[in-house]
């Protein structure tokens, strides 16, 4: 038989989780990925640029945001600042749309 943690430990852990949710935001991962792509940025590059600005953002944090995990609002602000400082690359968005349309055509049933 396995031992269970005392009720007080379970409550504290549950409380801590609730508190962490109030200090986190859920990012539109597809939009973040799109904004990074049109600027030619990888998660590693966004993290590096954020660190140069004095913000502590890891590549894992960006991966979490892109993949639907909640992140701290300060991390989101740092990511947004990096994206804001760079203009989208001219012509890239059209190419990405073409790539998406071609991929959809390959998947569509005949």
25-82 pLDDT, tens digit each: 999 999 999 999 999 999 999 999 999 999 999 999 999 999 999 999 999 999 999 9
Contact yes or no for 42/36 (Cβ under 8 A):
yes
For 54: left if phi > 0, alpha if psi spans -120 to 50, otherwise beta; the answer is left
**Between 34 and 18, where is the model more confident?**
34
DSSP state of 25: E
Maximum distance among all Cα pairs of the chain, rounded to whole angstroms:
63
User: What pLDDT does 66 receive?
Assistant: 96
**Between 93 and 48, where is the model more confident?**
48
DSSP state of 108: S
Alpha-carbon gap, residue 55 to 81, rounded angstroms: 10
Domains of the chain: 23-101 (1.10.260)
Query: Which residues share a beta bridge with 39?
Result: none
């Amino acid at each position: 038989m396995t031992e269970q943690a005392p009720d007080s430990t379970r409550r504290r852990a549950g409380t801590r989780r609730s508190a962490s949710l109030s200090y986190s935001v859920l990012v539109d991962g597809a939009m973040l990925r799109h904004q990074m792509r049109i600027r030619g940025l990888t998660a590693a590059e966004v993290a590096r640029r954020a660190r140069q600005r004095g913000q502590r953002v890891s590549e894992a944090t960006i991966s979490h945001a892109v993949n639907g995990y909640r992140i701290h609002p300060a991390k989101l602000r740092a990511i947004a600042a990096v994206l804001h400082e760079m203009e989208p690359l001219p012509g890239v968005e059209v190419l990405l749309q073409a790539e998406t349309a071609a991929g959809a055509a390959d998947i569509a049933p005949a």
